[in-house]
Structure formats: C-alpha cells, structure tokens
C-alpha cells in the first residue's frame, strides 16, 4: 500500500514539474525571452547570496555545537603521548582545508551573484595565464609537502619499536572470534614462545610449555591494567580472521592479522581517574549514566577506557570489548602480584604438561619459601599437632626404600630448616597404606624413614638430632578406602621434638 502511494506521489510530482516547465515556456513567449532571462538571473544570484549566508552561519553554528565531539579537543584529548602529535596533525590539516573550504565557497556564491547575467556586460575570455597557473600549482604543492613531511615524521615516531635496553612492558593480544586473549609476561618480564601447532582447548594460543619463559606468563581476565607513564609494547596477533586492536582514547589502532604479527608501542599519560576528572568539567558528562536512574552515577563517574575490535569480524564482534584500567605504578604492582601463572594453575601436572616428570625452578623456589615458613611456624607453635609436618614432595622407587631424584629438593629444604634452627631435634616417620602384609609394611616404612635420615646426615646434619621410625599402616590419616585416600596415607612426616 505504502509503495503504491509513494509511486503515485512520484508520478504526480513529475506531472507538476512538466506543467511548470510548460507554463514558463508560455510566459517566455508572452513576455519575451530576454526579460525572462534577466528575471531568472536576478533571482538566481540573489538566492545564491542568501544560501551563502545561511550556509556559512550553519557551518559556524554546527562547528561550535559539535566542538566537544572533535578529537584532540575538550573531553576528547588524547590519553597517550603520541596521540597528542596525531591530534595536532588532524588539527593542522583542518586549518588548511578549512581556509580553502571558506574561500572557495564564498567565491562560488558571491561570484554567482555579482556576475549574474546582464545586457550591459560581456564575459572576458582568458585562454591562458602563466602567473595564475604557477600560483595555484605552487600553493597546494607547498601545503601538501608540509603536511606530508609532518605526517611522515609523526608516522616514524609512532611506529618506532622499543630499543633493546629500553624500559617497557611487553604484553600480547591475540584476537579470535570473539574475544581477546591478553597475555602478560611473568616476573621474568619475557613472553614465552608460541607454536600454533600446540593449540588445544586448554592451550588456546599454543604456548610452548617446554620454554621456561612460558611458565610464569599470565593470561588476564576481563580487565587489563597498565601503569601510567610507562612505555607499553603490544604484540598483536589473530587466530582466525582479521581483527583490530583499538584503544580509541590512546589513538592506538592496529590490525591483528592471522599469521602476521604486528605491534604498537605507546605510553599512557593519564590514569582512568585523571581522565574521569577531565570529563567531569563538561556538562554532557554530568548527566546520569543510566537515563532510567536520574539519581545514579554520572557519566564521567562510569567512564572506562575500552579496548575494542575495530574490524567487523563476525556476528559476535561487539563482545570483544574489554576494559583497560590505567593506574599508578603502585596500584599496577598490586594487581600484577595477584595474577597467577596460566601454566602453573591450568596445565601443570595435567596430561598435556610436557614437564610432568620435572620439578621446575619456579616450583623449587616456591616450595623452599613455603617450607621455610611452615617450619618456622611449627618451631614457634605451642600446639603439639602443629609440630608434625608432612613432606609432600618426597617419593621412593615403588616397593623400595630408594629416594627418587626429585625428592632431593624438599630434603634440601629440610636441611636448610635444620640449619636455621640448630636447637631442634626431629623424628622422621614413615607411613604406608594397608595393602600387603603389615609386618613388611612396617619394615618398608622403617627403611624409608632411615633413608631420609641418611640423606640428612650426609648433608651435614648431626645424627644425634634425628630419629627415624617406621609406623607401617598403624597411623593412617584416614580410611584406606579409595586410591586417593591410600595415597594420602602413604607419606613421610617429621615431628619437631
Ligand atoms: Cu574482532
């Protein structure tokens, strides 16, 4: 129905236009051609002049109206160092194109009015003018050179990579349909190697876990943090289709291309709260964030820097939004301390862990620290029960009393503890589960406890400070009903006497 009405309207308008044309022709015949021409030219010139005035007023009013939407101005000042230079470039280009825009439009409509048709005037025909040609070639050439040289300069500064010894954080962003996987280096400051062939459901970015640099790497959650004033290099990759790493407030924008790593280096210069305080000065940011809740928080209070994907990468594209918090170095350090290694929390000890049989340096350090803390609190404790500690990382060859090679780390921690508290004496106790003959269980547990004691004396601990006992299956921690519980009951303990 609507379509029919629209069609009818078009037909009617066409008929009206044709009729107007006919009427004009008829009046021309009656009044004489020249008179009509003079009338038309006069009106044409006058309307051009009126249009010029309205148009120019419109240009200036809308520029004023929307000034707070412009990059590099008011609430949209850049939050990064290089962003200021980029905004300046836009501004200078705007000044030049603005001048040209104003001059050409004024000339166009003013001339249409001033040189409207008149019987007493004849056009002057200029076939060629060298001076004019030189002027209008030279001016754009000089302006273009200025803009291009400046732009090239800015490009080289913005795209400069970090130097080998420069103090910077390198993080990694991998785009996939539909989220960003953001990886931070661990305390070693280095990101571990990747190999796409190693990609699995748990190892989404194909980290090569035989590379020790990967062991402490962190994969962060929905919010990412960066310290203010510190240079950041983002390694940008994609797993499936084109994505784009876009931090609008920082003027950071770089394609994430499958198979072709790109990067962007930038320095945030404003924290999230700095930026909020700047927005606070503008009326439009003092409106409620949620229009349905007029007394709720204001827009500036809820402002967050965002990481977006600026490539239409599929139907879930919008869900690639992430929050970036720029904070002080202290706040950053505090957040960073809370992050956990992806490898140690998600992969370590599982089937796909290539280092299952090895004890890692990070673990040795962690265990040494934990051990020294627990032996200290056991020594200081008044509670009898707290004086018994289980040696969780001591293992023996199956059915024998020989210590496995990896057991030495915990035993060395025990040696360090015995040296730190020279006054203590300990009882080393071997325990088994209830499988097999009780007498041989007791015998085996005795031999194992003795093996531990032997190791300690070999490391210089006085034998008088040690007592080794085999309890066999007589002191289980719990019922021997499942494999798991039996494993808990097979243990080596020591008690501070
Ligand atoms: Cu995307």
**Lowest mean pLDDT, pick from 47-51, 349-353, 453-457:** 349-353
Helices (H) and strands (E) in the chain, counts: 11, 14
175: CA distance to ligand 1 center in Å?
6
Contact 468, 487 (CB under 8 A): no
376: CA distance to ligand 1 center in Å?
52
| Among 373, 369, 353, CA closest to 361 | 369
φ, ψ at 398 (rounded to 5°):
-55, 130
263: CA distance to ligand 1 center in Å?
16
195: CA distance to ligand 1 center in Å?
21
The pLDDT value recorded for residue 469 is: 85
257: CA distance to ligand 1 center in Å?
10
240: CA distance to ligand 1 center in Å?
9
- The per-residue pLDDT for range 333-347, each reduced to its tens digit, is 998 888 888 887 877
The pLDDT value recorded for residue 267 is: 92
Q: Which range in 17-31, 319-333, 416-430 is most confidently predicted, on average pLDDT?
A: 319-333
Contact 35, 119 (CB under 8 A): no
Band of pLDDT at residue 28, cut at 50, 70 and 90? confident
CA separation for the pair 357, 40 (Å, rounded) = 95
Rounded average pLDDT over 48-54: 94
322: CA distance to ligand 1 center in Å?
12
φ, ψ at 477 (rounded to 5°):
-75, -30
Contact 398, 435 (CB under 8 A): no
| Among 428, 412, 430, CA closest to 420 | 412
Rounded average pLDDT over 207-229: 86
181: CA distance to ligand 1 center in Å?
11
23: CA distance to ligand 1 center in Å?
60
Distances in Å between the Cα of 174 and the Cα atoms of 91, 185, 194, 235, 379 are: 33, 14, 12, 8, 49
216: CA distance to ligand 1 center in Å?
27
- The per-residue pLDDT for range 453-470, each reduced to its tens digit, is 888 888 888 888 888 888
Contact 251, 219 (CB under 8 A): no
- The per-residue pLDDT for range 270-279, each reduced to its tens digit, is 999 999 999 9
- The per-residue pLDDT for range 390-414, each reduced to its tens digit, is 888 888 887 777 888 878 888 888 8
CA separation for the pair 293, 474 (Å, rounded) = 68
The pLDDT value recorded for residue 133 is: 93
258: CA distance to ligand 1 center in Å?
12
Q: What is the dihedral sign for C-alpha 98, 103, 104, 109?
A: positive
| Residue 269 reports pLDDT greater than 80 | yes
223: CA distance to ligand 1 center in Å?
17
Which tokens is 17 given? 């236009």
325: CA distance to ligand 1 center in Å?
21
487: CA distance to ligand 1 center in Å?
48
The pLDDT value recorded for residue 246 is: 94
Neighbours of 86 (CB within 10 A): 19
339: CA distance to ligand 1 center in Å?
25
The pLDDT value recorded for residue 465 is: 87
15: CA distance to ligand 1 center in Å?
52
Contact 240, 316 (CB under 8 A): no
Band of pLDDT at residue 14, cut at 50, 70 and 90? very high
249: CA distance to ligand 1 center in Å?
18
Band of pLDDT at residue 355, cut at 50, 70 and 90? confident
Instruction: Give me Rg for the CA atoms of the chain.
Output: 39
| Among 320, 312, 172, CA closest to 236 | 172
- The per-residue pLDDT for range 140-186, each reduced to its tens digit, is 999 999 999 999 998 998 888 888 888 889 999 999 988 899 999 98
300: CA distance to ligand 1 center in Å?
27
Distance of CA 5 to the CA centre of its chain: 53
**445: exposed, middle or buried (Cβ count in 10 Å: 0-12, 13-18, 19+):** buried
60: CA distance to ligand 1 center in Å?
38
The pLDDT value recorded for residue 385 is: 79
304: CA distance to ligand 1 center in Å?
20
163: CA distance to ligand 1 center in Å?
30
Band of pLDDT at residue 98, cut at 50, 70 and 90? very high
Rounded average pLDDT over 58-67: 93
176: CA distance to ligand 1 center in Å?
7
The pLDDT value recorded for residue 106 is: 94
170: CA distance to ligand 1 center in Å?
21
460: CA distance to ligand 1 center in Å?
61
178: CA distance to ligand 1 center in Å?
6
Rounded average pLDDT over 339-357: 79
The pLDDT value recorded for residue 54 is: 95
Q: What is the dihedral sign for C-alpha 39, 45, 49, 55?
A: positive
Beta-carbon contacts of 259 under 8 Å, excluding residues fewer than 6 positions away, are: none
Beta-carbon contacts of 371 under 8 Å, excluding residues fewer than 6 positions away, are: 410, 413, 414, 416, 417
241: CA distance to ligand 1 center in Å?
8
- The per-residue pLDDT for range 113-130, each reduced to its tens digit, is 998 888 888 888 888 899
Band of pLDDT at residue 41, cut at 50, 70 and 90? confident
First-to-last CA distance in the chain? 98
238: CA distance to ligand 1 center in Å?
9
164: CA distance to ligand 1 center in Å?
31
320: CA distance to ligand 1 center in Å?
6
288: CA distance to ligand 1 center in Å?
30
253: CA distance to ligand 1 center in Å?
12
121: CA distance to ligand 1 center in Å?
64
Rounded average pLDDT over 223-249: 92
264: CA distance to ligand 1 center in Å?
17
Distances in Å between the Cα of 438 and the Cα atoms of 367, 429, 470 are: 33, 16, 11
Rounded average pLDDT over 260-276: 92
């Amino acid at each position: 129905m609507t379509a029919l009405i629209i069609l009818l309207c078009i037909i009617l308008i066409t008929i009206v236009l044709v009729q107007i044309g006919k009427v004009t022709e008829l009046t021309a015949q009656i009044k004489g051609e020249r008179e009509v021409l003079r009338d038309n030219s006069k009106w044409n010139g006058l309307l051009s002049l009126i249009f010029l005035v309205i148009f120019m007023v419109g240009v200036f009013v809308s520029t004023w109206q929307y000034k707070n939407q412009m990059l590099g101005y008011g609430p949209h000042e850049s939050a990064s160092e290089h962003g200021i230079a980029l905004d300046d470039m836009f501004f200078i280009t705007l000044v030049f194109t603005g001048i040209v825009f104003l001059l050409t439009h004024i000339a166009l409509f003013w001339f249409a009015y001033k040189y409207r048709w008149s019987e007493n005037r004849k056009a002057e025909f200029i076939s060629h003018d060298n001076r004019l040609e030189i002027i209008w070639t030279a001016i754009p050439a000089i302006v273009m050179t200025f803009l291009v040289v400046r732009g090239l300069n800015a490009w080289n500064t913005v795209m400069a990579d970090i130097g080998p010894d420069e103090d910077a954080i390198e993080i990694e962003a991998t785009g996939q349909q539909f989220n960003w996987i953001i990886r931070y280096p661990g305390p070693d400051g280095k990101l571990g190697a990747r190999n796409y062939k190693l990609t699995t459901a748990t190892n989404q970015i194909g980290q090569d876990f035989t590379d020790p640099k990967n062991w402490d790497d962190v994969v962060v959650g929905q919010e990412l943090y960066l310290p203010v004033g510190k240079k950041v290099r983002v390694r940008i990759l994609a797993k499936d289709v084109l994505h784009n790493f876009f931090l609008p407030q920082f003027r950071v924008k770089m394609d994430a291309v499958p198979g072709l790593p790109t990067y962007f280096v930038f320095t945030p210069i404003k924290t999230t709260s700095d930026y909020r305080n700047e927005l606070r000065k503008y009326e439009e940011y003092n409106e409620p964030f949620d229009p349905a809740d007029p007394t709720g928080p204001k827009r500036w209070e809820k402002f967050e820097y965002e990481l977006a994907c600026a490539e239409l990468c599929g139907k879930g594209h919008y869900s690639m939004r992430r929050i970036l918090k720029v904070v002080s170095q202290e706040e950053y350090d505090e957040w960073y301390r809370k992050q956990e290694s992806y490898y140690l929390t998600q992969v370590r000890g599982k089937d796909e862990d290539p280092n299952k049989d090895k004890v890692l340096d990070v673990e040795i350090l962690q265990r040494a620290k934990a051990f020294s803390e627990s032996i200290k609190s056991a020594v200081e404790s008044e509670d009898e029960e707290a004086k018994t500690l289980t040696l969780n990382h001591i293992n023996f060859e199956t059915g024998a009393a020989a210590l496995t090679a990896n057991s030495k780390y915990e035993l060395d921690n025990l040696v360090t503890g015995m040296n730190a508290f020279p006054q203590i004496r300990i009882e080393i106790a071997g325990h088994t589960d209830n499988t097999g003959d009780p007498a041989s269980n007791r015998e085996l547990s005795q031999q194992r406890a003795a093996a531990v004691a032997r190791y300690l004396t070999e490391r210089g601990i006085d034998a008088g400070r040690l007592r080794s006992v085999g309890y066999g299956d007589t002191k289980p921690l719990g019922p021997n009903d499942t494999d798991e519980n039996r494993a808990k009951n097979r243990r080596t303990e020591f008690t501070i006497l």
